[in-house]
Chain A
Amino acid sequence: MTKNKRAVVFVRLKDGVLDPQGVTIGKALQQMGYDDFVSVRTGKFFELEINDSNGDIEKKIDEVCSKLLANPVIERYTVEKD
């Protein structure tokens, strides 16, 4: 029996889209005295466990990213596979 594969999807806001959470965290770092960190952008990641029965998983990962995990209007995604 083959071991299930894993993929990690990172979703980030596109450049230019305001990230109020990141701004707030950045301000907190400044207040804590960490002046070296000039900006913070937040994001999400998803760990997908995959049983690739048909061998077309690359296409499917791309589909689920653009259809559901990310909103392509404001977000971009990258995928890392084991």
Chain B
Amino acid sequence: MKFGVVTFPGSNCDYDSYAAVRFILGEEVEFLWHKSEDLLGCDAVILPGGFAHGDYLRAGAIARFSPIMDKVIKFAHTGGVVIGICNGFQVLTESGLLPGALIRNDHLRFSCKFVHLRVENNESKFTSVCKKGEVLKIPIAHGEGNYYHFDEDISTLEDSGRVLFRYATPEGEVTNEANPNGSINNIAGIVNEGGNVLGMMPHPERAVEDILGSSDGLRVFESLRACFGSSKRVVPS
């Protein structure tokens, strides 16, 4: 399968994502400049971490209006797979592809450390090779990762199994202490209604080899490949 990694001015995990896909997963991958309007036939588009357009105004707010985002939004609306990691998640909420918003961490500090995620639903494109309840060790690096959603809407997300990852202890217990940023219900990653758009604050692309401290992040990419099959092109209708 073929991945595309969008580079916005200020993206800083685009190479990490590229390397994870090309050298570790071993699949095809292309960079997509934010001013381009061509997704180059990619099966999955990654919006990487960083500080797109400096995150001036609000994280992701200006990136959402980069020319490529019109194409990414159309791609997502027709079933195309989009993964927003960290800043990419913020771009996805700002563009309306995912519900809710990511606000300042409740403790106001930038957090850069390994966290543990409990897989809440393994019937998604992004978690298909995981077990339900499995714990993944993946790092976070953000100042605005506090997932917020109005109470009445959060039950819709929860009831439909759209919460894929929750911050937990290494044993898989969801506790306040394991929540690194104040996210409602310890939410670390969600999908859209169609199940083709994933947003997550932790960085799976930074945990793809043991030498990096963990290779658990690879599970997200392997899940996706398991759905597509290697080198098999799937074009959304």
Interfacial residues, chain A to chain B (CB-CB below 8 A): 16-18, 20-21, 24, 68-69, 71, 73-74
A18 touches B57 (CB 8 A): no
Total chain B interface residues with beta-carbon distance under 8 A:
20
Contacts of B182 in A (CB 8 A): 18, 20
**Option from B57, B101, B108 in Cβ contact (under 8 Å) with A69:** B57
Is B105 an interface residue, CB under 8 A from the partner? yes
B105 touches A73 (CB 8 A): no
Contacts of B104 in A (CB 8 A): 20-21
Is B7 an interface residue, CB under 8 A from the partner? no
Is B179 an interface residue, CB under 8 A from the partner? no
B100 touches A73 (CB 8 A): yes
Mostly helix, strand, loop or mixed at chain B's interface? loop
The distance in angstroms between the C-alpha atoms of A43 and B106, with both chains bound, is 16
Is B65 an interface residue, CB under 8 A from the partner? yes
B57 touches A20 (CB 8 A): no
Contacts of A24 in B (CB 8 A): 108
The distance in angstroms between the C-alpha atoms of A73 and B100, with both chains bound, is 7
Within 8 A of A (CB), among B76-92: none
Contacts of A68 in B (CB 8 A): 57, 61-62, 65
Q: A71-B58, A71-B61, A73-B93 are in contact. Are A20 and B107 (CB under 8 A)?
A: yes
